[in-house]
Structure 1
């Protein structure tokens, strides 16, 4: 009995020691990473290639295990207040996670970024420590991947009228393939910490009857599921169909995992569908579906529903392709304005009379 007591005493002591050590080590490493971010503004705007893009160890050493990625693939763009609102909300609720906007450029030596003349973006960069801008060429991003020949030699994507959007779909795949992390579209406003989602590491999101979308997804570097989705997306690419990639992702997972994406099915799915892939439902960023998002964001009768979503959801996908042209007064009681005043106050204060 005496030896048993000694054994359990030692076991408890060792367990507590490991727990305390790991806790303090995590905080220490996090502090070290954050200290790297507290640098001058120019040092947070950097060239991603060739060094960091092709050296995952160096990238990990600089930014840690978790990153949130955005991409901008248009040649000339000025980030709109709603785009900056997304960045303000995500950096505010995830202050220990690097948020990196990757801008594709024609010459990787260029330091002239296309959207830096945005007043609200400049203000956010000047007052946020975990926001970064990196630039890279698409050939460098695609180099040595299964999509390299497809993006530059396949006539289907070269001649597609949706080419810029579709190239953006594939670039987000490639960045996750090479770097790992979580990708978000600019039209997702965040309501709370994304830690539970970030911790899933490998996930896609299904919403209502739309099936799987690619506005938000996360993968570890060189994840086999990501390789499968990239391969299927290029093989079955539909050049005349705008949501080609989400549709192929949906069909691929439907056949392989025998999952139905009928209306509402995503909300009833188990988060753990497979040991290596999570499929999560509309409780993430979709309090309103695509068909009703205009009404839900701009009709004051839906303000209470929006406020309820602040508690029940991680954010809202505003579907800018459908709603971006609609302006709201910043001081109005319309649901979008109410959300913006709460989750991106700095941005909306600089937006002028309309948001």
Structure 2
């Protein structure tokens, strides 16, 4: 009897794996539960900043305020404790690469946590602030949504219905920030390897089925405003707190499906999308998340590096790869990229990047 139960359990596990590997929608609902439990507490979003905390983003002096369409934005929506906020070397690498490769654009890291800088992050923060075009600020979300299309919707408490409120806050912020200021949004695991200056109204396909939300740019002209407003409408209409990717890539994919009158990313040409450009996977996602280990594979280094030749940036899937160590001086692809495009962080992060 025990053997039969064990055999049945093994078969069920195998069947489960096969199902989620084939059904992306089902996987979006279930797979996040297979990893570490994500804290749901988001009370820090409305707490007053630490006395040594960050300056509020929209309370900056007039000369420091974002120039419409000339910005690159990163968001960090975690809540941090008394030790202060954390920015690890790989996240800092993404920020440095954006500033280094786009010196005429202002790069913002926007935190929601009221904490001060943690002792463990002071060194990498110091390296980032050596770039004149990097600014680190704090967002008070209730102020940030005020006088926007999301004000009443957010005030309804919609985020509290989410199983992953911090991740879904990241989704909300990327669309809201681009609506407010225009410019480019990047995930904190995107390393920029070519200039993004001059890019307007674009996104990248992760594969040829769907558009991804890890790299996006909306201009402040008619097309950019049209897409930004459509994204906010879709976010309000279709927000689902129980589906991991519905409120991020789902929003831009559904919006462009309507704009371009086509279902698949492969058919979203500039001509069909009124000038909005959907880049091929090679532009920002040369390595699919299922193959993330290629970034750490020394033997396949040459093959992997060749994949980056047509890339403007590379998504390195830190959520999957963060526990894979890289010794500074290593010749794995990720290390080679970091040494070239975020040298200050890479050379001052200690023995492990």
Report the TM range for the smaller structure's normalisation.
0.7 to 0.9
Contact 2:73 2:108 in 1 (8 A): yes
Residues 63 and 232 from structure 1, CA distance in 2 versus in 1: closer, same or farther, beyond 3 angstroms? Answer: closer
Higher helix share: 1
Q: What is the alpha-carbon distance in structure 2 between the residues aligned to residue 207 and residue 177 of structure 1?
A: 23
Q: What is the alpha-carbon distance in structure 2 between the residues aligned to residue 144 and residue 92 of structure 1?
A: 34
C-alpha deviation, 1:205, in angstroms: 1.8
- 1:95 has 2:103 as partner: yes
Residue 49 of structure 1 corresponds to 58
Which consecutive residues of structure 2, in runs of 5 or more, have no partner in the other structure? 1-53
2:71 paired residue among 37, 57, 67? 67
C-alpha deviation, 1:163, in angstroms: 0.8
* RMSD across aligned positions (CA): 2.5
- 1:133 has 2:136 as partner: yes
Contact 2:205 2:278 in 1 (8 A): yes
Give SS of 1:215's match.
strand
| Aligned pairs, number | 292
- TM-score scaled by length of structure 1: 0.74
1:164 paired residue among 163, 166, 177? 166
What are the superposed Cα offsets for residues 14-52 of structure 1, whole Å, 9 maximum, x if unpaired?
xxxxxxxxxxxxxxxxxxxxxxxxxxxxxxx64323577
Q: What is the alpha-carbon distance in structure 2 between the residues aligned to residue 78 and residue 51 of structure 1?
A: 23
Residue 347 of structure 1 corresponds to 345
Give SS of 2:58's match.
coil
C-alpha deviation, 1:99, in angstroms: 0.7
Residues 193 and 119 from structure 1, CA distance in 2 versus in 1: closer, same or farther, beyond 3 angstroms? Answer: same
Contact 1:284 1:313 in 2 (8 A): yes
Residues 63 and 235 from structure 1, CA distance in 2 versus in 1: closer, same or farther, beyond 3 angstroms? Answer: closer
Residues 261 and 120 from structure 1, CA distance in 2 versus in 1: closer, same or farther, beyond 3 angstroms? Answer: farther
C-alpha deviation, 1:164, in angstroms: 0.8
Give SS of 1:201's match.
coil
Q: What is the alpha-carbon distance in structure 1 between the residues aligned to residue 228 and residue 118 of structure 2?
A: 30
Residue 40 of structure 2 corresponds to none
1:147 paired residue among 134, 143, 150? 150
C-alpha deviation, 1:272, in angstroms: 4.6
C-alpha deviation, 1:210, in angstroms: 5.5
Q: What is the alpha-carbon distance in structure 2 between the residues aligned to residue 210 and residue 121 of structure 1?
A: 37
C-alpha deviation, 1:202, in angstroms: 1.5
Which consecutive residues of structure 1, in runs of 5 or more, have no partner in the other structure? 1-44, 53-57, 107-111
Q: What is the alpha-carbon distance in structure 2 between the residues aligned to residue 123 and residue 274 of structure 1?
A: 42
Residue 289 of structure 1 corresponds to 288
